């Protein structure tokens, strides 16, 4: 089996349909519904919204797909990288030229990092199971909505530090925001099953983000340049996942930044403030895009 597994080869049964994020975001049909004002996403998820059952089902299907890809990404991190000392011994043994001894061809990670990723595999497998059950509970089914593969794409970074930062801090951080939003929706809509499950998943996600924060700190302790590259990659991923104002701190943001849980997971206030500012900028961008699309639609 190859080291590094491309997103286009992700194995799926016939129920799944993929839509690239670029196609989704550049879709000219992305104009706001008359009831949603300027919001592309329909605003905050509340039970009084007429479309809230559908919006909640769409979000739950998105969570399900995210969990599947998070499982796949963590699994690949178990496989794609060698354990530090094992890799070194093998490289020494393989090297014909003593000058190249100790230079492994596959990137190395600590044994304990792999153990964390294996633990994450189990957690994500459970989250997938929970999401399938919740999807049935909410009246949707596997494959009803399209799959976006951006989560797994972030999990393909060949540098383990960047991969961990992009997945465990940016994406799992998004999961904290999403699960907190869904938990609150379960609470205000009187759905104790949804609230209960989301609260459990939220606890796991805080653990996963903390893993990312801890490994970023440990692996780049003596390499500030690599840490900066990793944080920049995280910012790129975070901007992508602000999804044109999908996440933010405004009252009508479909997904709210969960400051308290992010702090528990190792984010400092400055980082969260930057995230909020990036999300606000992404929202301004998409609102401009929507206005452009609307003008084009009117002109036709």
Partner 1 sequence: MADPKKPRAPFAPWDRRELPGIFTVEESARRVGNYKWIEMRLFEVLGGWVATVPELDVKLRLGTHCYHHAWHAELWHKRLPELREMNPDRLTAPANDQLVAFVDAMTEPEAPELTIEKLVGAYRVLIPHKIAAYTYHLNNTSTITDAPTIRSLKFILQDELDDWRDGEMLLQSLIDTPEEVDRAAAHQAKLEKLMLAAGGIAGPGTLGLGATSNGAAPDTQEAVR
Q: Does 8 bind partner 1 (CB under 8 A)?
A: no
The DSSP string of 37-83 is: TT-SS-SS--TTSTTHHHHHHHHHHHHHHHHHHHHHHHHHHHHHSEE
Q: Does 204 bind partner 1 (CB under 8 A)?
A: no
CB count within 10 Å of CB 291 equals: 13
Q: Does 119 bind partner 1 (CB under 8 A)?
A: yes
Query: With respect to partner 1, which residue has the nearer C-beta, 111 or 296?
Result: 111
Query: With respect to partner 1, which residue has the nearer C-beta, 125 or 236?
Result: 125
Q: Does 76 bind partner 1 (CB under 8 A)?
A: yes
CA dist 198 to 53, 186, 195, Å? 17, 8, 5
User: Cα–Cα distance between 108 and 221 in angstroms, integer?
Assistant: 16
CB count within 10 Å of CB 67 equals: 23
Task: Using CB under 8 A, pick the residue from 79, 110, 235, 239 that binds partner 1.
Answer: 79
CB of 17 to partner 1, least distance (A): 14
Total of chain residues touching partner 1, rule CB under 8 A: 37
Task: Using CB under 8 A, pick the residue from 56, 71, 161, 243 that binds partner 1.
Answer: 71
> Residue 51: how many CA atoms within 13 Å on its side-chain side?
12
CA dist 175 to 90, 91, 169, Å? 38, 38, 10
Binding map of partner 1 across residues 51-70, x = CB under 8 A, - = no contact: -----------------x--
Q: Does 121 bind partner 1 (CB under 8 A)?
A: yes
User: What is the gyration radius of the CA atoms in the chain, in angstroms?
Assistant: 20
Phi, psi of 136 (to 5 degrees): -65, -45
Q: Does 205 bind partner 1 (CB under 8 A)?
A: no
Q: Tell me if residue 216 falls in helix, strand or coil.
A: helix
Task: Using CB under 8 A, pick the residue from 21, 118, 146, 236 that binds partner 1.
Answer: 118
Q: Does 145 bind partner 1 (CB under 8 A)?
A: no
Identify residues 83-112 at the interface with partner 1 (CB under 8 A): 83, 85-86, 89, 111
- Residues near partner 1, by CB under 8 A: 1-2, 5, 9-13, 68, 71-72, 74-80, 83, 85-86, 89, 111, 114-115, 117-119, 121-122, 124-126, 128-129, 142, 152
């Amino acid at each position: 089996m190859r080291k590094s597994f491309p997103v286009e080869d992700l194995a799926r049964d016939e129920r799944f349909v993929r839509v690239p994020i670029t196609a989704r975001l550049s879709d000219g049909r992305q104009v706001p519904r008359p009831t949603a004002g300027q919001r592309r996403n329909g605003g905050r998820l509340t039970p009084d919204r007429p479309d809230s059952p559908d919006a909640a089902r769409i979000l739950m299907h998105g969570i399900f797909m995210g969990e599947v890809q998070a499982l796949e990404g963590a699994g690949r991190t178990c496989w794609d990288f060698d354990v530090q000392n094992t890799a070194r011994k093998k490289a020494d043994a393989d090297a014909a030229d003593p000058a190249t001894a100790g230079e492994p061809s596959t990137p190395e990670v600590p044994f304990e990092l792999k153990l964390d990723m294996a633990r994450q595999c189990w957690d994500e497998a459970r989250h997938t199971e929970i999401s399938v059950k919740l999807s049935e509970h909410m009246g949707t089914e596997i494959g009803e909505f399209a799959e976006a593969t951006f989560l797994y794409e972030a999990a393909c970074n060949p540098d383990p530090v960047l991969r961990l930062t992009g997945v465990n801090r940016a994406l799992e951080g998004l999961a904290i925001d999403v699960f907190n939003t869904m938990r609150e929706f379960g609470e205000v809509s009187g759905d104790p099953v949804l609230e209960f499950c989301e609260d459990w998943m939220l606890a796991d996600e805080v653990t996963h983000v903390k893993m990312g924060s801890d490994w970023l700190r440990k692996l780049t302790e003596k390499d500030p340049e690599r840490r900066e590259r990793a944080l920049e990659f995280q910012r790129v991923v975070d901007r992508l996942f602000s999804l044109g104002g999908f996440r933010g701190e405004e009252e009508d943001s479909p997904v709210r930044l969960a400051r308290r849980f992010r702090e528990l997971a190792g984010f400092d206030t400055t980082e969260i403030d930057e995230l909020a500012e990036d999300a606000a900028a992404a929202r301004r961008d998409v609102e401009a895009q929507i206005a452009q699309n609307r003008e084009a639609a009117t002109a036709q």
